[in-house]
Structure 1
Amino acid sequence: MSPARGMALKLFALFLFMVMASLIKASSSEVPSFQAVFFRSFFALPVIVIWLAARKELSTGLRTRSPAAHFWRGIIGTSAMACGFAALGLLPLPEVTAIGFASPLITVLLAAALLGEKVRSFRLGAVGIGLFGVLVILWPRLSLSPDKMNEAAMLGVVLVLASAGLRSLAQIHIRRMVQLEQTSAVVFYFSLTATLLSLFTIPFGWVMPSGPVLFMLICAGLIGGVGQIFLTSSYRFAEASVLAPFEYASMLYALVFGYVLFGEVPTGIMMIGVFIVTLAGALIIWRERQLGLARGKARRTMTPQG
């Protein structure tokens, strides 16, 4: 294990994902979200295949025991991606990123409901704090009078919340899948399924993008594929509990990219909400780490018979 290397890989992966999101946002005025999903997924496939071939895992890494599980993971993940991409065209990049932090909070609740995981009062309290932070971020949108309410922005809020919920559901599904499936297979078949599913939306508004937008979409797919590899690789060098706090580096990237590329300046209320959500996430991560250490200590003191 090399935690420093794992941290560096995770931070670089998140940077690449923010570059990808910026490219998708820049192209959103010209192409619909499902068309962007196609480019993001299709052009990630060769990157993933080359990576597996270089690791000599092409024959084993794509082996699957449950094609149906990959199909449903693809349905959920593709829907989440499409909602997120559509929201990027309607809301500032920092706001989309901040609201998206609701996903790990929702995952805690879904894990309790669908997987039967025990969620005690500490984590429930942290989830409540985090959801309050999301409400603070959304408050300027919700407090507008009906005649002043920006319908496009409200649709963006609905889409990014839907994306967060679907991503949480996908995480729960993946927790079940990885008990039987290799991570490489989960990554590859998701990109493949998303590519195929997005093709069914061709009759619903696909357009021929201009040269610059086409270039941005292709780059988004390639960069997204590379980012996925760096993210996956980061967990080879550090534990998930060590890397989890670095997820919030996405917010710093979003603030810089949003300001430099799109002239988006976050409001004070939004930053207060971001602080509350980040605090809640940090509490959950800390609690998960403490529970993990306790479980590890218990295993070390068990007799050989268990």
Structure 2
Amino acid sequence: MSAIPEPKSAEPAASLERPLAGILYLLGATTIFPIQDVIIKMLSGDYAVHQVVFLRSAFALPIVLIISRFEGQLWPLKIGSWRLQLLRGLAAFASYMVYYMALATIGLAETAAITFTTPIFVTLLAVVFLGERIGLFRWLAVIIGLIGVAVIVQPGRGVFEPAAVLALLAAITYAASIIATRKLGHRTNGSTMTVVTLLIYLAAGSSLGVVFSLVDMQSPHPSFAFLFREWKWPDPRDWMLLLAIGVTSALGFFALSQAYRLAEASVVTPFEYTYMLWAVLWGWVFFGALPAFTTWIGLSMIVGAGLLIVFREVARGRRIVRRRGLGVLRQR
């Protein structure tokens, strides 16, 4: 999972001169990351989610270190605040744990659609923790986005799936990690945040592995079975799939870091929504699932709300949005 890339202060002009290249790198990232989701969904019936996160991070870390070294941002480390780094890393870990748990039960498109509400929750949390004020347009976007979630989840109906709540929780906890990133500001950079986050994933994943090896818990629900399962030694085929998860994560990090280094976030962030096209395609190709009509309606409302928030923030001249955006792919 890549981190929010921080443009180097010594080359601000260069970061604004190649928007087309930034968009192409972003499109590369949205092409790569759905492959990761497909593999994790395939493995969700046999392995524990914390084992998958641990191995994914273990495989991604050496590649990320090499990329960060190549970009010249690895040393010296710019921690900024250990407390905020820890909060950010744990929030992101929780986000992707419940995101993967949701994937075990519901489709790629439905899971991704619900988690694309992240900008909405960033907006709401910014009011509480950053003291920002929400104007009429952003309140309208928040309401539209939440209605879109209700259309997809359909609470109170017979088709309601509790795993959809996990996807919503993933959006909320990921928004918390973005708020922590905002508070870190320029005291850190993308490479440092990525390395620290991966180390937190390794520590948290191994800790959960120990806990669930000592506690006998089972559940018939696929999402919670994915959580409660003990670790086991993968077979050769699955080792290759787990390695592929780590490689796609690292390559996605590189593509994202390049995208946000070469162009302002306000330019490339809207293209993150092309992720949904791949989620729909791979969901149909690998799992024979296509989104229901109500999912398309809810997705349209969520995407519209997210874009409205991004463009409204840019129009108000918020530098944090121009540089870092409000998307959902930052730590994948």
TM-score, length basis structure 1 = 0.89
In the alignment, structure 2 segments of 5+ residues that lack a partner are: 1-16, 213-229, 321-332
- Contact 1:33–1:83 (CA<8 Å) still a contact in 2? no
Question: Structure 1 runs of 4+ off > 6 angstroms?
Answer: none
The aligned residue for residue 204 of structure 2 is: 197
Whichever residue aligns with residue 7 of structure 1, its letter is I
The aligned residue for residue 232 of structure 2 is: 207
Alpha-carbon offset, residue 294 of structure 1: 11
- State the structure with more CA Rg: 1
- Contact 2:117–2:306 (CA<8 Å) still a contact in 1? no
Cα distance in structure 2, aligned partners of 1:68 and 1:93:
33
CA deviation map 1:24-65 (0-9, x unaligned): 1111111111111112211111111111222333322x3423
Cα distance in structure 2, aligned partners of 1:293 and 1:25:
37
2:30 to 6, 11, 14: 14
1:44 matches 2:51: no
Cα distance in structure 1, aligned partners of 2:268 and 2:319:
19
Cα distance in structure 2, aligned partners of 1:57 and 1:80:
26
In the alignment, structure 1 segments of 5+ residues that lack a partner are: 296-306
Cα distance in structure 2, aligned partners of 1:78 and 1:175:
18
1:257 to 282, 293, 317: 282
The aligned residue for residue 70 of structure 2 is: 54
**Greater helix proportion:** 1
Go from structure 1 to structure 2 and tell me whether the alpha carbon gap of 1:291 and 1:63 turns closer, same or farther (over 3 Å shift). Answer: closer
1:53-132 alignment runs, 5 A limit = 53-60=69-76, 62-132=77-147
Secondary structure at the counterpart of residue 202 of structure 1:
helix
- Contact 1:30–1:209 (CA<8 Å) still a contact in 2? no
Cα distance in structure 2, aligned partners of 1:294 and 1:249:
24
CA deviation map 1:90-147 (0-9, x unaligned): 11111101111111111110011110112111101111001101111111x6411xxx
- Contact 1:245–1:282 (CA<8 Å) still a contact in 2? yes
Cα distance in structure 2, aligned partners of 1:8 and 1:41:
26
Alpha-carbon offset, residue 68 of structure 1: 2.7
1:115-264 alignment runs, 5 A limit = 115-139=130-154, 142-144=156-158, 153-154=161-162, 156-203=163-210, 204=212, 205-264=230-289
TM-score, length basis structure 2 = 0.82
Secondary structure at the counterpart of residue 58 of structure 1:
coil
2:47 to 6, 11, 31: 31
- Contact 1:241–1:289 (CA<8 Å) still a contact in 2? yes
Whichever residue aligns with residue 143 of structure 1, its letter is R
- Contact 2:88–2:178 (CA<8 Å) still a contact in 1? no
Cα distance in structure 2, aligned partners of 1:59 and 1:274:
41
The aligned residue for residue 304 of structure 2 is: 279
Secondary structure at the counterpart of residue 201 of structure 1:
helix
- Contact 2:80–2:184 (CA<8 Å) still a contact in 1? no
Q: Pick which of 205-214 and 228-237 moved more.
A: 205-214
Aligned residues: 286
